[in-house]
Chains A and B, each alone.
Chain A
Amino acid sequence: MARFAMLIDASRCTGCNACRIACQMQWQLPPERYFNRLEHRERGIYPNAKWEIVPIQCMHCDNPPCRDVCPTGATYKRTDGIVLIDSKKCIGCKYCLAACPYGVRQINENGVPEKCRFCAEYIIEGIMPPCTSTCMNEVRVFGDLDDPNSKISKLMAKKEVYQLLPEKGTKPRIYYVKK
């Protein structure tokens, strides 16, 4: 059984936004809608200051509040861990949007709150998500945690990693490399 996850090394990110655009191309999103975003923060005091960039997208949480609150079960989690939305079942209540602590959902033209899909249809054919493959600095590593030989499994064993907002109890599937 696959257990898909992503490891992000934010310190390598240059802020070029190619991941965002590759994803928009993949899913034919209009310019104002995006499934991944970059958050910026400044650290330290000049001249010892640093500009940090953190890529953020749906965390495909193992305990996803968006799935729990969805009244019709339109939001669901596959056995491989990917959280998806069945837009036929979605009634547009936007409860999932209110429930997601990461602010990654975006209302589409039909009133369905969409988000990153981990490119579910593509990865089963072995194709990497474009946000991962397009990046010139290999900020993202996508793969199967149940496969001990996958790149992500090996990296996770070596590096110290953390998750965002662990206090919310969502158990994200996206890990970040500690600096």
Chain B
Amino acid sequence: MKSSNNKKHLLTGNEAAAEAAILAGCRHYYGYPITPQNELINHMAIRMPQVGGTFLQAESEIAAIYMAYGGAAAGARVMTSSSGPGISLMQEGISYLAGSELPCVIVNVQRGGPGLGDISPSQADYFQAVKGGGHGDYHNIVLAPASAQEIADLVYDAFDLADRYRNPVMLLGDAQLGQMMEPVEFRKTPRTHQTVKRWALTGAEGRARNIVKSFYPVKGELETFNIRLQRKYRAIEHEEVRYEEVNTQGAEIILVAYGTCARICKEAIRRASGTGLQIGLLRPITLWPFPKEPLRRLAKKARAFCVVEMSAGQMVEDVRLAVLDRCPVHFYGRMGGGVPSSREVLKKVLNILAPEGTLELEIPEIPTELGKGLYFSTIP
């Protein structure tokens, strides 16, 4: 594929991520094969040599994350990608990236777990992505796209955010988003905020040497460093929260979902329109920093929240922490590769409104014009 970036391409989300990375100036990619992210690594293998970049299939995800660490330390824009088990192996390296304040973009195309699990869509790596995952007090910036188009857009932003804050950025997708083909238009001018990396390792010619490290053995130094890291995180929380609101004005029930589940919730809202049910959606686009304030604002008006996830309930904890006891927070989840349907979501909403089962609803069938890549309820 040529990087002619002002027309629509039909791409899997994985390919969109790879191509957007190249357009954002990434010339160093390291990865290890794992389903459901193979389209990404395969695309990089073809494209990187064409643009004079480095593609290297590492001997493991451990090696891949440290190769990316090396590239980042050397001042380049670097990407790696994986899924569940491979991301688990990368966690030590991600902690080192955060501790050494190195910019790096990591794509996690989530699959079902725990263990080897399966290769179906899942959102059960939320804790691992947003709560640190590796050792120590740190955060990844976590972006949650909901379409191939948004993957392309957010990959640009991921590189900018990583550079601006010298922090790892994780793009958290899933098997559905990664493998489904959708039309994608690449933003013409990537807003690449190419910072001058004076700290990078280039050889100390004509300047004082640079050291990239996360080791602070002198008493007190590490705490001072951690305080500075936390200040950076507070600044990110202040500046970088992103979310989308759908139909929240006057909604009785606010659905909260990201990625694939957010699209299913949008579908549920469409199916409920005209039935009198007032349902809205808050879709976090940044999972960390988490959109706490918008949730608190909505908690003043809504009757209840319902968090929908492909997990046993992970993001729901952050929603509860955000709204505390201002508003009841319900949960609907499917696990181990199960994907909720919009019908299941609507049934859950009815159950919240009338737990005794007195509320019935003719759920209309899906209007055909919605078949445009917005609807999916089952996975083949």
A joins B in a complex: no
Using a CB–CB cutoff of 8 Å, the interface residues on chain B facing chain A are none
